[in-house]
Structure formats: C-alpha cells, structure tokens
A and B are shown apart, each in its own frame.
Chain A
Amino acid sequence: MRTIPFFLISLAIAGLVFIAAFALDNDYYFFAGYVVLQYIVLSTAWNILGGYCGYVNFGTAAFFALGAYSTVTIYNLIGNNELPHVIPIPVLMLVGGVVSGIVGFGMGYLTLRLRGAFFSIATLALAVVLETLVVNWDFVGGSRGAFIIRPENMPVLGSYVRYLFLMMALLTVCSLTIARLIERSRLGYGFATIRDDELAAEASGVPTLRLKLIATTLSGALMGMAGAPYPYYIGYLQPDSTFALDYAVNAIAMPLIGGTTSWVGPLIGAVLLDSLQQIITVTISSAVNLLIVGCILVAFVIIAPNGILGLVHKYLQHRGDDFVGRRKVDPDAPGAATDVGAAPEAPS
C-alpha cells in the first residue's frame, strides 16, 4: 500500500474510534483512550531508534517531559492572562517536537561512540540531568510543579479532553505513517544495517553516523510531541511524575511485546498493554501497573523474544514449511542447511 492511502485509511480508523467514543458519551473513554494513544506514539517513537536501529533508549521520560515542559514554558511566558489557551495544541506539539528533536540530536551527537548498554546508561543519565534542571527551574514550577488551567469546553466537541483525544489521534496517525514510511524506504534499510552490524554497514557505504542522528532526532521529536499536550491533559504537572520511570519502561515493553521490526509491533503492544493497564487501574489498583508490565515483559522475553509479530511469523513460516514439505522435497529448505552461528562477533 502506498503511503497516502495508508495515511487516509488510518485517519479514517482514528475517526471511527473517535466517533465510537463520542457515541458512548462518557468522557472516561476519552480520558483512558488518550493515554493509550499517547503510548502508541511513544512506543512508535522509541521503536524508530530502539527497534529499527537497535539503540535502546531509557530516556523516553526525558523527551516526553521536554515536550510537556515546553508547553508549560509557553503557557507561563504568555502569562496569566485571560486567554491562556489561545495557542492551539498542534502548535504546542510542534514546539515540543522541535525542542525534543534538538535535544535528541544533541544526545545522538554526544553518545555516538557508545553502543549497547553504555548508550542506554547515557540516555538514563540524560533523564536524570533534565529532571534536576527542571526541579531547580522556578519559572516552570520547580519541584512544586506547575498548574495549567485548561478551558472547560471546546466548541462542537464538548469537553476539552475530547479535543485532546482528537489531537493525539492525529499525532498517532502521523507517527505510524512516518514509522511505516521509514520501514519501507532506503532509510529503513540503512537503519537495519546499523542494528545488524555497523562496521559492515560503513563498508557498504552507509553513513551510520548521519543515520543515527536522524533516528535520535526523529525519535526524540515524536516523544516530545506526545508530551506537549500532557500538561493540558493532567492539569498539574510535577517533575516526579513527568520524569517517571513508567514512560521509559512502557515505551520499551510495548514494542518488545508487539515486535520491534515493524510499525505494527508498537501499535499492537501499546494497545494491548495500555488497555490492560487502564482496566487494572479502575478495577484493581493503579499501583499494580508496573508489576503487571514487568511480569508480561519477562514472560514475553522467555516465550516470544520477537514479540507477537515474531510468533505470527513463526506460525506462518511453520505452515509454509509444512506446505512445501507436502508438495516437494526442497534440499535448500532452511532445515536442510547447516545452521551456523549467524552473529559474527569477533572483529576481523
């Protein structure tokens, strides 16, 4: 499918979801749905760097918070006048995206020589540094936090949370389209070579440095865009909860559960996991959330290391092999080939 039809179809699906929630006429669905959508964007963004390029980012909360605090900064700059909400959410998203994108670029530039666990630790450090900065920055509320007074209602839509839901749905469609576009492009092939073997990628002419910078910038920008409307959603923004580990853990767990090699993975993972979290929050307790995520993650790492998509692929391949087996004997079938260790580890 081409990109534009894909974008339009996703838009239509997002529209249907919105209409369905609208028909239920209960703001709770918008309230819970917003978080699910937010996590689709966050996990898709994480997957661009983590899944496509293989660089595990533990700093999702930092980029998310950058977006959120960009909004708080703008809100405070405009001042406590009578029209604090004159700036539309898409503009705030763009600003948050630009700020986080720049920080993502900087992070990429500073951590280019780091690989594996060292890169992850550096991203974790970034979150700690940024949180310290925000806690000590009075203008955005410091450790006291910041209040955002959101408008009661929006014309046509009704309550403001419906408007936020709609904006987040648009962002979700955009980020899924971007992720899918990357996957099928020259850039996506380049990202895959970085994930597989950077030395071989360079030897094949892939400018790994530039591609990694594109990935960190894009991933950071999308996370920031997801964070920008958050102050309006929550009403009271506080560093502890904005920089919470939940974001980092969820943004990693969701693509891993869904499958990291395709744009569908983070989508499936986010919808499943966060819907579950929302249900648990209202039925059992919000405190059990991370525990549940942890248990599911452990289970998936053991049972399905390639996520749900990996399971599906395996199943399809299995059926395919059976089919081939019945029709004719293929000496070149994967079972017939000697399986030598695929990952080359020693440098030449």
Chain B
Amino acid sequence: MSELLEVDNLGKRFGGFVALDGISLSVPAGERLGLIGPNGSGKSTLVNCICGTLRNEQGSVRFEGRPVDGVPAHQRTHLGLARSFQLPRPFVSLSLVDNIRIPLLYTVSARGTHHTADYIEDHCHGLLREVGLEAKARRLPRDLTQVEMRKLELARAMAAEPKLLIADEAMAGLTHSEIEDILALLVRLNEQGVTVILIEHIMSAVMSFSRRLVVLVSGRKIADGRPEDVMRDPEVERAYLGQ
C-alpha cells in the first residue's frame, strides 16, 4: 500500500503552549486509523494542521506524495482531504440539502467532473438518506439536534468525495445504535476505497473500527500500532488511567 498521508515532525505552538511537538505519522491508502488521546492532547490541532485550517510552524504534511504546506484549506479539500468538525459548523442560513450541495458545487466540480443539477439534487438527498436526515432535507440546521448536526457534518464531508476522510468526534452524544449506524457507514466508505481517520473518545467504537491506533498525549505521539497492542502499552495506560 502506498502512503496517502505523511506527516513529518509536525510542530504547532499557540504562544508559549506547545500544542503539537514533532508528530510523525504516515497513513497508507485504505487504512482505518483511530486517533485517540485525552482532552487537550492536540488531536483537533493535528487535524487542523493536516487540513490547512491552521498553519504548522514546523515539519511538513504530504498528501499523495505531494507537499501541501502552505496550500489553502479549500485546495486541500479539492485534492481529496475532507474533514468533519468536532463542534458542528453547519451553514446556518442554508437548508440541509444546500449544506450538502456546497462541496458538490465547489469541490467535486473543481476536479473536472461536471454533474447536472438533477444529479446533484439526487445525490444530496442520497447522502442525507445515508445519515438518516432525508426527512429534514428542506429544513434549516437550527431545526436539528446536536446529534443530527454531527450527522450533517459527516454527510457534508462525504459529499466532497474524499480520498481521506477525517471524522473528528462525529459520534459524541449518539446512542449505541446510532454509533453502529455511523460506524457501518464509515466501514462502507472505507470498503469503497476511502481512507478514514477516526478521532473518538468512545473506546468501543474506536476499537471496533480501527485497524491501527495512534495515541496522542500532550502534543506528542506516544503509541502507534495494532489496537490491542497499543491498549496494553504501559505508557498509554498511564496516560489514560493515571499511576
């Protein structure tokens, strides 16, 4: 498997606070990677640096072998990097179906595939159906619950037809069966060839989904490997359970 994403010695500071300290990570195409760590360990910062929302001061990010440092976020999305936000950020003045339409209009068409308006409409409804929001397609995001907004986030990220999907805590607050649904959805995407990075606090979800697990603590990567091995790692136990 070729490496899809390569993060090399990535560093990010906020003033005197070191959020990321020399993170190196490579993700081969087709991987199902779980990224865990306590609150404030730098998971979202890492995602933001990978996706171009934040600029990394040190190190480099390569996507499909091509350095993307300094490339604006929207171009990274065009290249095939999509993410959902930890705190849902819907387009509040647009209906759900229009929320999904944006990546289709701006990302999928930027890759040179031009779809008809009818196809886009159908596709948007299809994606909403996959996350169980089709009944509310014409509603505004303010009519949604937090849980539904997370599903909308995920659907919007999927609409960009990414090669790498980063789901940043898409499952917080969901019921057990909803988590199962989302996991099944992510697995299905993965089987279609999409590489998935899952950031999650719900360990059962991470363990059942991930083929590989990476642990961040205080901006450093402390473990990387098969989930079972990682969970047995004394350093990980210490970080999670204390001494």
CB pair B93 A346 closer than 8 Å:
no
Q: Indicate whether A193 sits within 8 Å of B87 (C-beta atoms), given known contacts A207-B74, A334-B143.
A: no
What are the residues of chain B within 8 A of A203 when measuring CB–CB? 51, 53, 73-74, 77, 82-83, 85, 157
**A199-B105 Cα distance, complex, nearest whole Å:** 17
Whether the pair B90, A200 counts as a contact (CB closer than 8 A) is yes
Interface locus among B16-24, B96-104, B190-198, B214-222: B96-104
A340 to B157, CA, bound (A): 22
Question: Chain B residues near A205 (CB, 8 Å)?
Answer: 74, 77-78, 102-103, 106-107, 110, 160
Which residues does chain B contribute within 8 Å of A201, judged by CB atoms? 74, 91, 102
Which of A200, A334, A348 has a CB less than 8 Å from the CB of B44?
Answer: A348
B interface footprint on A197-223 (CB within 8 Å = 1, 0 otherwise): 101111111111100000000000000
Supposing A209-B72, A348-B87 touch, asked if A189 and B146 sit within 8 A by C-beta, the answer is: no
In whole angstroms, how far apart are the Cα atoms of A139 and B102 in the complex?
A: 49
CB of A230 to closest CB in B, whole Å = 34
Encode A318-348 as 1/0 by CB contact (under 8 A) with B. Answer: 0000000000000010100111101110111
Q: Is the CB of B102 within 8 A of A193?
A: yes
Residues of chain B with a CB closer than 8 A to A209's CB:
72
B89 and A189 within 8 A (CB):
no
Residues of A near B73 (CB, < 8 A) are 199, 202-203
CB distance from A277 to the nearest CB of B (A): 30
| Count of chain B residues with a beta carbon within 8 Å of a chain A beta carbon | 49
The SS class assigned to the B binding surface is helix
Q: Which of B78-132 contact A (CB under 8 A)?
A: 78, 82-83, 85-94, 98, 101-103, 105-107, 109-110
Q: Which of B48, B53, B73, B101 has the most CB of A within 10 A?
A: B73
- Using Cβ atoms and an 8 Å threshold, which residues of chain A touch B159? 204
| Contact (A208, B168) CB under 8 Å given A196-B91, A197-B89, A200-B90 | no
Is residue A130 contacting chain B, with contact meaning CB distance below 8 A? no
| Cβ contact within 8 Å between A204 and B136 | no
Report the minimal beta-carbon distance from A328 to chain B, rounded to whole angstroms: 14
Cβ B72 vs Cβ A202 within 8 A:
yes
A250 is an interface residue with CB less than 8 A from chain B = no
> Shortest Cβ distance from B152 into chain A, in angstroms?
11
- Does B135 count as interface, using CB distance less than 8 angstroms? yes
8 Å CB contact of A261 from B48, B78, B93:
B93
Closest to A208 in B: B74
A63 to B37, CA, bound (A): 52
A197-B74 in contact (CB<8A): no
Contacts of A311 in B (CB 8 A): none
Return the chain A residue nearest B141 by Cβ.
A342
Q: Are B74 and A206 touching (Cβ within 8 A)? A: yes
In the complex, chain B residues whose CB is within 8 Å of the CB of A208: 74
Min distance, Cβ B149 to any Cβ of chain A, angstroms: 8
Flag whether A186 is at the interface (Cβ < 8 A).
yes
Interface residues of B in 204-241 (CB under 8 A from A): none
Complex: how many Å from CA A186 to CA B42? 36
Minimum CB–CB distance for A117 against chain B, Å: 20
Considering the chains assembled together, what is the distance between the CA atoms of A346 and B141 in angstroms? 17
In the bound complex, CA of A196 to CA of B109 (Å): 22
Check if B142 is an interface residue, CB within 8 A of chain A: yes
Cβ–Cβ contact B85 & A202, under 8 A: no
Whether the pair A195, B144 counts as a contact (CB closer than 8 A) is no
Q: Are A196 and B93 in contact (CB under 8 A)?
A: yes
- Contact B90–A338 (Cβ < 8 Å): no
Q: How far, in whole Å, are A204 and B75 apart by their CA atoms in the complex?
A: 10
* Nearest A residue (CB) for B54: A347
On whether the beta carbons of A186 and B105 are closer than 8 Å, the reply is yes
Q: Which residues of B sit under 8 angstroms from A11, Cβ to Cβ?
A: none
Q: Is A190 an interface residue (CB 8 A)?
A: yes
Which residues of chain B (139-185) have a CB below 8 Å from chain A? 139-146, 149, 156-157, 159-160, 168
* A122, CB-defined interface residue at 8 Å: no
B183 to nearest A CB, angstroms? 21
Determine if B87 and A344 form an interchain contact, defined as CB atoms under 8 angstroms apart: yes
How far is A209 from B74 in the complex, measured between Cα atoms in Å? 10
Answer yes or no: B30 CB below 8 A from chain A CBs: no
Residues of chain B touching chain A, judged by Cβ–Cβ distance below 8 Å, are 44, 47-48, 51-53, 72-75, 77-78, 82-83, 85-94, 98, 101-103, 105-107, 109-110, 135-136, 139-146, 149, 156-157, 159-160, 168
Q: List 23 A-B contacts (CB under 8 A).
A: A189-B105, A193-B91, A193-B94, A196-B90, A196-B92, A196-B93, A202-B52, A203-B77, A203-B82, A204-B74, A204-B102, A204-B160, A205-B78, A205-B106, A206-B74, A208-B74, A334-B139, A337-B144, A343-B92, A344-B89, A344-B90, A348-B87, A348-B168
Seen from chain A, the residues whose Cβ lies within 8 Å of a Cβ on chain B are 186, 189-190, 192-193, 195-197, 199-209, 261, 332, 334, 337-340, 342-344, 346-348
